[in-house]
Chain A
Amino acid sequence: MSSSLQPDYAAIKELHKTLPPFQPIIPVSLLPYLAYILLTLTFGLAFYFSTLPKGVAKESTVAILASILGGFGTVAMFCTVGVYV
C-alpha cells in the first residue's frame, strides 16, 4: 500500500467529489425479500432432500442447489437484520 500526501491528496479529493456514488450489485431494498425467498426455498429443498431415495445424482443436485440458495439467502438475511457483511 502507498501513503500519499500533497499534491496527490488534492487530486484524490477533487476526484472523490466527481465520482458517481457507490451502487451495490443487488439493491439493498431487495435484500429482505431475497432473504425470505431464498431461505424458504432452501428449507423446502432440504425437506425434499430428506424424502429422496438413495441416488447420487438426484441427491447431489438437490443438495448443491439448496446450498447455493442458502448461501446467498444467508448473506441477504445478515444484511437485512443489520449485520452488514
Chain B
Amino acid sequence: MVLHRYWLHLSTIVLGLASPSWASFENTRVTRSVDLGGSLVYTTTTYNVKALEDGSNVYLFALTEKEQETTSWMEAKVKGHTAPLSLENHGLSHDATYYYSVALPKALDKDQTASLVLETVQAHAAYPFPPEAAQDDRQALKYDTDLFVLSPYKSLTQTIRFNTVGFPILGYTQPKEVAFTTGTIAAKSNSGGAIVFGPFSDLPPSSNTDFIEKHQQKISIFYEFGFPMLAIRSLRRAVEISHWGANLNIQDEIDLYNAGPKLKGQFSRLEHQTQVYQHRQAPHVLTELALQLPAGIHSAYYYDTIGNVSTSHLRIAPSASQGGLPGRSSLLELRPRYPLLGGWNYSFTLGWDSHLGDHAGWDAEKGRHVVGVPIMTLFGGAVVEDAEVKFVLPEASTDVEVFPPFSPSSFSSAMHTTYLDTTGRPLVVFKYKNLTDKHTGIIYIAYKVPLSAHLKKPTAVGIAFFSVFFVAFLWKRVDLNLEK
C-alpha cells in the first residue's frame, strides 16, 4: 500500500522498544542505493532479514527526522513481488526516530529469511552548492545524509551506494574514525558517477540515541547535475464536466520555478542567445518543456499573465474511441516566454477540452456515471509542493462518491455556480502536498444525474425568455394615450 506522508488516519503510538516482539529480526545485509537527482532523490533500501524467533511477522523500518521531513513517497515490498505491503506509521519515538511497520505476508519461523525493499522519494533533499552560479557556470548540488542506515535490529553488514544520472561526483565527505569497518570506507567508481560507503559489519541496533551520538556521522555528496532543477510551487487543477456538451475541460494553473542555483550577476541576453546558437545551453537554465497530455484532446490553450503564449506545439494522439492505440499520449512542447534561470518563476495556465466519453463511463447496474481524471500532468523530475484538484460536477448531481488513489491532505466539498446554473454544481476539492512522479494516480468519482437535472438549464433560460414575453403581454395592455 502506498503511504502518503499526510495519511489521514495516522497512528501516533510511541513505541516501547523494550518490547521483546520488536527484537525478533536480524538484518543479515542492508544495502541502500541513492539515485541523486535535482528536486527529487530516490532511495532503495534492501533489507535481507532473518527471523530470530518463531512467528515473526512485523518488521520495523526506522527513519531519521530529516528523512521523515523530506520523504514524500514511500513503498515497501517483498523483493521480487509487485504488490506493496501496508505501511503503518508509528510516529516519533523517544529516540528521535520515526518508525514504520509492515506485516509480512507470511510469518517467519526462527532462522527463516526474507528480503524487503523500501523505496522512498525525497523532495528538496539536494540543494544547489554553491547557491549562486553565473549564466555559463555548471550546476552542482549537494546531498546531506547519515553514514549508517538506522534500524532497530542488529545489522551484520551494511552498504550505501550513491549514483548520479551519468554526471560526475565532484566531492564527498571522507568519514573519520568510523567503527564497524576495517577496510576502505568510501570507494568511487571508475566512471566517477557512483560512490560506495562500506561495507560496515556487525552494527548493533542503531535507531537509538546512544548509537546516534557515539557512531552516526553526517556525510555529504557533492555532484554535478545537468538538468534544470524544476519545482512547482502551486498547481491548481480544475476539472469541469458537461453532460450537455459531452465535454471534460481540464485547466491547470501552474506556478513553476527553477530551484537551481540563483543567477550570479545580471542576465545577459547576448550570452543566452550565444549559448542557444552554439548548442551549449547552461544545464540549469530551462528553455522549454515537453508535457504528455491525454490522447484525444482538442482546443488546448496556453497563456500566462501577459496573454496567450504562441510558442508551443501540440501533437494530438487520437484516443481509443477515435481509433487510436491505447496507452498513447498527446505531446505538448512549450517554450516559456523567457528562459527560466535559477530562482526565477514562471506562472502560466494550460488547459484543454476532451470528449467526456474518453474519461467517463455509464454504470447501468447502479445508474451512475464514473469519471476518472489524473491528479496532475507529470513534470519530469519536479516536485509539486502544493496541489489542489477541483472537480465541478454536472448541476444537481447526487450520490457523489470519491475514490482518490491515496489520501489527500484535505478534502472538501462546496457548490459552484457558473453559466446557466440555478442551484449550482457540486464541487469537490482535493489538496495534496509534495507530489512527485510517483503520485501520478487517477481520481475516480461516481455520481448520479437524474433526467430532471438535465432540464434545469433549458427551463431556466425558458423562464427568462417567458418573462420577456410576459412584459410584452403587459405592455400591450397599458394605455399611455392622453385622454382628450
Residues of A that sit less than 8 Å from B by CB: 1-6, 8-9, 12-13, 15-16, 18-26, 28, 31, 42, 46, 49-50, 54, 59-60, 62-64, 66-68, 70-72, 74-76, 78-79, 82-85
* Pairs A-B, 4 closest by C-beta atoms: A19-B361, A71-B462, A84-B245, A21-B357
**Nearest CB in chain A to that of B356: its residue:** A22
**Nearest CB in chain A to that of B466: its residue:** A67
Question: Do A25 and B370 have beta carbons less than 8 Å apart?
Answer: no
Question: Do A63 and B469 have beta carbons less than 8 Å apart?
Answer: yes
Chain A residue numbers with a CB within 8 Å of B247 are 28, 79, 84
Q: How far is the CB of A53 from chain B (nearest CB, A)?
A: 9
Tell me if B310 is interfacial: C-beta within 8 Å of chain A: no
Tell me if B171 is interfacial: C-beta within 8 Å of chain A: no
Q: How far is the CB of B201 from chain A (nearest CB, A)?
A: 39
Chain A residue numbers with a CB within 8 Å of B359 are 22
Question: Do A85 and B401 have beta carbons less than 8 Å apart?
Answer: no
Question: Do B249 and A42 have beta carbons less than 8 Å apart?
Answer: no
A4-B402 in contact given A15-B363, A21-B360, A67-B469 (Cβ < 8 Å): yes
The distance in angstroms between the C-alpha atoms of A64 and B469, with both chains bound, is 9
Encode contact with A along B425-469: 1 for CB under 8 Å, 0 otherwise: 000100000000000001010100000001001111111011001
The distance in angstroms between the C-alpha atoms of A20 and B473, with both chains bound, is 49
**Nearest CB in chain A to that of B243: its residue:** A24
Chain A residue numbers with a CB within 8 Å of B299 are 82
A85-B242 in contact given A63-B470, A71-B461, A75-B420 (Cβ < 8 Å): yes
Chain A residue numbers with a CB within 8 Å of B130 are none
The distance in angstroms between the C-alpha atoms of A46 and B471, with both chains bound, is 13
Question: Do B405 and A71 have beta carbons less than 8 Å apart?
Answer: no
Tell me if B400 is interfacial: C-beta within 8 Å of chain A: yes
A16-B465 in contact given A21-B357, A59-B473, A84-B353 (Cβ < 8 Å): no
The distance in angstroms between the C-alpha atoms of A74 and B461, with both chains bound, is 7
Chain B residue numbers with a CB within 8 Å of A79 are 242, 244-245, 247
Which of these, B242, B405, B420, B462, contacts A68 with CB under 8 Å? B462
Tell me if B218 is interfacial: C-beta within 8 Å of chain A: no
The distance in angstroms between the C-alpha atoms of A14 and B361, with both chains bound, is 12
Question: Do A28 and B401 have beta carbons less than 8 Å apart?
Answer: no
Q: How far is the CB of B411 from chain A (nearest CB, A)?
A: 6
Question: Do B428 and A8 have beta carbons less than 8 Å apart?
Answer: no
Chain B residue numbers with a CB within 8 Å of A23 are 246, 357, 362
A19-B403 in contact given A49-B469, A71-B460, A71-B461 (Cβ < 8 Å): no
Pick 18 A–B contacts, CB within 8 A, sort by A: A3-B402, A5-B406, A9-B404, A12-B444, A20-B361, A22-B362, A23-B357, A25-B243, A46-B469, A59-B473, A62-B469, A63-B470, A64-B466, A71-B457, A71-B462, A75-B458, A78-B419, A84-B242
Q: How far is the CB of B388 from chain A (nearest CB, A)?
A: 16
Question: Do A22 and B369 have beta carbons less than 8 Å apart?
Answer: yes
Question: Do A85 and B420 have beta carbons less than 8 Å apart?
Answer: yes
Encode contact with A along B235-248: 1 for CB under 8 Å, 0 otherwise: 00000101111110
Secondary structure type dominating chain B contacts = mixed
Chain B residue numbers with a CB within 8 Å of A72 are 458, 462
The distance in angstroms between the C-alpha atoms of A64 and B458, with both chains bound, is 13
Chain B residue numbers with a CB within 8 Å of A62 are 469
Which of these, B1, B245, B403, contacts A4 with CB under 8 Å? B403
Which of these, A1, A15, A25, A28, contacts B413 with CB under 8 Å? A1
Question: Do B362 and A1 have beta carbons less than 8 Å apart?
Answer: no
The distance in angstroms between the C-alpha atoms of A20 and B361, with both chains bound, is 5
Known contacts A3-B411, A74-B458, A76-B244; 12 additional CB pairs below 8 A are: A12-B403, A13-B372, A16-B444, A20-B362, A21-B360, A23-B362, A31-B245, A66-B465, A70-B461, A70-B462, A79-B244, A84-B353
The distance in angstroms between the C-alpha atoms of A62 and B470, with both chains bound, is 11
The distance in angstroms between the C-alpha atoms of A82 and B476, with both chains bound, is 38
Question: Do B469 and A5 have beta carbons less than 8 Å apart?
Answer: no
Question: Do B446 and A12 have beta carbons less than 8 Å apart?
Answer: yes
Chain A residue numbers with a CB within 8 Å of B407 are 3, 5
Tell me if B358 is interfacial: C-beta within 8 Å of chain A: yes
Which of these, A6, A12, A46, A75, contacts B461 with CB under 8 Å? A75
Tell me if B321 is interfacial: C-beta within 8 Å of chain A: yes
Chain A residue numbers with a CB within 8 Å of B466 are 63-64, 67
Tell me if B306 is interfacial: C-beta within 8 Å of chain A: no
Chain A residue numbers with a CB within 8 Å of B357 are 21-23
Question: Do B477 and A54 have beta carbons less than 8 Å apart?
Answer: yes
Q: How far is the CB of A55 from chain B (nearest CB, A)?
A: 10
**Nearest CB in chain A to that of B463: its residue:** A67
Q: How far is the CB of B429 from chain A (nearest CB, A)?
A: 11
Chain B residue numbers with a CB within 8 Å of A59 are 469, 473
Q: How far is the CB of A28 from chain B (nearest CB, A)?
A: 5
The distance in angstroms between the C-alpha atoms of A4 and B361, with both chains bound, is 19
Chain B residue numbers with a CB within 8 Å of A82 are 299, 353
**Nearest CB in chain A to that of B405: its residue:** A9
